[in-house]
Amino acid sequence: MAKFGRDHMPHVGAECPDEAGLQLIEAWITGLGGAPGKVGPALARLPDELLADPKTATRAARQLGRGALKPAEQEAMLAAVAKLPAGTIRDLFEGYLPQPDPAARKLGSSPRPRTILALKGDAGRGEELFWSPALNCGSCHKIGARGTAVGPDLSAIGKLRGRADLLESILEPSRRIEPKYAAYIAQTADGRSLTGLLVRRDERVVVLRDAQNQEVVLAAKDVEALQPSRLSLMPAGQLAGLTAQQAADLLEYLLSPMK
pLDDT value of position 211: 85
pLDDT value of position 8: 78
Q: 229: exposed, middle or buried (C-beta count within 10 Å: 0-12, 13-18, 19+)?
A: middle
Look at the chain and count its residues.
259
pLDDT value of position 111: 83
pLDDT < 50 regions, the chain: none
125-155: pLDDT as tens digits: 999 999 999 898 999 999 999 999 899 999 9
Please tell me the pTM assigned to this model: 0.62
pLDDT value of position 108: 78
Instruction: Assess whether the previous peptide bond of 100 is cis (omega < 30° from 0).
Output: no
pLDDT value of position 236: 83
Q: For 217-225, which contacts have Cβ atoms below 8 Å and span 24 or more sequence positions?
A: 218/186, 218/188, 218/194, 222/188, 222/189, 222/190, 223/186, 223/187, 223/188, 223/189, 224/187, 224/188, 224/189, 225/185, 225/186, 225/187
pLDDT value of position 99: 72
Q: Are 142 and 153 in contact (CB under 8 A)?
A: yes
H or E element at residue 77: helix 71-81
pLDDT value of position 42: 54
pLDDT value of position 98: 83
